[in-house]
């Protein structure tokens, strides 16, 4: 990324926005940071300036069009231009559709859609004059596969993807080739977002697996600033989910609904009704990148398991990783799902306990499993630097299928297959013997 780019980020005080600001600062960008929390922004600005960046704080409520225009004007007045604008500020509410307070419903739409609209208009007005710039909108995987209990959030994120398409079309018609609009589509990310959400379900909102690090999204945003593309889905599991949803929408939507009810809303911890951060910002001391869901560790665990499967011999390694779990109902269910449906939804079924158990085994077995392969796959091809090639879901499917208990029908099918192979081998041997006898006679 070129040095001294001028970058505006909304929702910068925590989560993805904060992680993105830190990563841009390390690239020597000049930053204009916006959120509703003055104190949190000031602390972030001090942190970034201490590492040699140039950053200013502009407290902004993105639902106020005049405030967003002032944000853009401040960037231009201080730094002369806007190279990158990141629309990131967002809120959510969890409640059954029929009982969700309509004021809260409207507020989510206002922040998540109109806030982005105001940001896009302010940014593109400046970028169009400059004839260059990148607008980056942070959407969500929920904009592709909507969840129950979060109707306005899913609607807003689908709208953001549509907004990106429309803006790109207009820029093309105007022949503004130097101005780009990119959409980032993250899955579940480890940020404080879930505890900041409004909630009327009676159950605590938790991060639904698989959970990714906010730094992974920040890295993608910084990459897009230098090499824009229309849309970028974060994580191989998310990418596979998008592809599978277009092939079998009903199946994926059913799985998403079941998973949301099971793993997004806690069955152990109750929660009272709350408006979260819909109408007031979170406390200044709750302005971290992480939400405490161990996104970094869980991302590293998925990569470690995929790497072990690549370099350690696939099925054999999977058996060792899951040794002692062959009779687990969860493993059997995972194998069945991999067979019947798709590998992406499989990843969504894995709970934190599963990830922890698999990661612990991977750490213990990793050195011994990797020593014999020396960075070679089971097919002899080098895997150095390519540990991300195998989707997490595929790794888990291999593990689950290798350890799923065989049923009577499975054993019967296996016997039939073996018998068929034996018959084919016998027939081949007979044909060869007959051919040899014919050659002898001719001689």
Looking up residue 74, the CATH number of its domain turns out to be 3.40.50.720
> Do residue 392 and residue 319 come from a single domain?
yes
With tokens 């277009």, the residue in question is 246
Whole-number Å distance between alpha carbons of 360 and 376: 23
Is there a domain that residue 102 lies in? yes
Catalytic option among 116, 153, 200, 212: 153
Q: Is residue 436, in this structure, part of any structural domain at all?
A: no
Q: Is 279 a residue of the active site? A: no
- Determine the pLDDT at residue 317: 45
Residue 81 and residue 227 in one domain: yes
Q: What is the pLDDT of residue 322?
A: 47
Is the residue at 31 inside a domain? yes
Same domain assignment for residues 261 and 307: no
DSSP class of 376: B
Give me the residues of the chain with pLDDT under 50, please.
Answer: 307-352, 355, 359, 362-363, 365-408, 410-411
d(CA 215, CA 232): 15
Q: At what angle do helices 115-130 and 151-173 cross, to 10 degrees?
A: 20
| C-alpha–C-alpha distance, residues 283 and 182, integer Å | 31
Boundary-marking domain end, from 237, 270, 303 = 270
Query: Does 201 sit behind a cis peptide bond, omega within 30 degrees of 0 on the bond before it?
Result: no
Distance CA 283, CA 134 (A): 31
What are the contacts of 108-111 at 24+ separation with CB within 8 A? Answer: 108/152, 108/153, 108/156, 108/278, 109/152, 109/155, 109/156, 110/63, 111/62, 111/63, 111/278
Is 181 in a helix, a strand, or coil?
strand
Predicted pLDDT of residue 72: 98
Q: In this predicted structure, what is the pLDDT of residue 324?
A: 45
Is residue 262 located within the same domain as residue 300? no
Residue 377's pLDDT is 38
Clarify whether residues 246 and 327 are in a common domain. Answer: no
- Is 210 found in the same domain as 66? yes
Instruction: Please tell me whether residues 327 and 224 are part of one structural domain.
Output: no
Helices 295-312 and 352-371, axial angle in degrees (round to 10): 40
pTM recorded for the entire structure: 0.71
Confidence at residue 304, expressed as pLDDT on a 0 to 100 scale: 52
Both 173 and 300 in a single domain? no
- Block residue for tokens 């793993």: 263
pLDDT given at position 3: 75
Q: Domain check: are 306 and 262 in the same one? A: no
Q: Position of tokens 């609904």?
A: 257
Q: Say how many domains are in the chain.
A: 2
Torsion angle of the four alpha carbons 428, 434, 436, 439, in this order, in degrees rounded to the nearest 10: -140
Same domain, 249 and 318: no
User: Is residue 428 included in any domain, yes or no?
Assistant: no
Domain assignment of residue 254, given as a range = 6-270
305-314 pLDDT per residue, tens: 554 444 444 4
pLDDT at residue 306, rounded to an integer: 52
H or E element in which residue 6 lies: strand 6-10
């Amino acid at each position: 990324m070129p040095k001294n780019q001028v970058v505006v980020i909304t929702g910068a005080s925590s989560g993805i926005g904060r992680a993105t600001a830190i990563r841009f600062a390390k690239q020597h960008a000049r930053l204009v940071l916006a959120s509703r929390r003055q104190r949190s922004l000031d602390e972030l600005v001090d942190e970034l300036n201490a590492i040699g960046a140039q950053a200013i704080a502009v407290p902004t409520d993105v639902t106020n069009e005049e405030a967003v225009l002032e944000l853009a004007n401040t960037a231009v007045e201080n730094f002369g231009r806007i190279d990158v604008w990141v629309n990131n500020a967002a809120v959510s509410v969890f409640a059954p559709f029929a009982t969700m307070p309509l004021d809260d419903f409207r507020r989510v739409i206002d922040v998540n859609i109109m806030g982005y609209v105001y940001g896009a208009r302010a940014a593109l007005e400046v970028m169009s004059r400059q004839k260059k710039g990148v607008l980056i909108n942070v959407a969500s995987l929920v904009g592709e596969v909507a969840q129950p209990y979060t109707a306005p959030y899913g609607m807003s994120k689908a709208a953001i993807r549509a907004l990106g398409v429309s803006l790109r079309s207009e820029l093309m018609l105007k022949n503004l080739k130097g101005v780009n609009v990119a959409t980032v589509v993250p899955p579940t990310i480890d940020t404080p977002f879930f505890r900041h959400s409004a909630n009327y379900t009676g159950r605590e909102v938790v991060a639904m697996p698989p959970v990714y690090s906010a730094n992974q999204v920040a890295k993608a945003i910084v990459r897009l600033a230098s090499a824009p593309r229309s849309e970028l889905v974060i994580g191989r599991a998310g990418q596979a989910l998008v592809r599978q949803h277009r092939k079998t929408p009903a199946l994926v939507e059913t799985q998403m609904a079941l998973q949301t009810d099971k793993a997004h809303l806690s069955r152990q911890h109750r929660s009272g009704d709350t408006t979260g951060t819909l109408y007031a910002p979170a406390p200044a001391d709750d302005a971290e990148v992480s939400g405490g869901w161990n996104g970094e560790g869980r991302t590293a665990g998925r990569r470690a398991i995929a790497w072990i499967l690549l370099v350690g011999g696939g099925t054999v390694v999977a058996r060792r990783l899951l040794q002692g779990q062959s009779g687990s109902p969860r493993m059997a269910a995972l194998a069945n799902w991999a067979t019947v449906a798709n590998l992406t939804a499989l990843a969504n079924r894995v709970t934190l306990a599963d990830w922890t158990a698999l990661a612990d085994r991977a750490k213990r077995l990793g050195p011994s499993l990797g020593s014999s392969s020396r960075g070679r796959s089971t097919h002899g091809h080098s895997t150095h630097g390519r540990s991300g090639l195998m989707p997490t879901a595929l790794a888990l499917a291999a593990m689950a299928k290798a350890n799923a208990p065989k049923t009577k029908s499975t054993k019967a099918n296996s016997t039939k297959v073996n018998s068929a192979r034996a018959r084919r081998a016998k027939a081949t041997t007979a044909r060869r013997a007959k051919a040899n006898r014919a050659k002898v006679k001719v001689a």
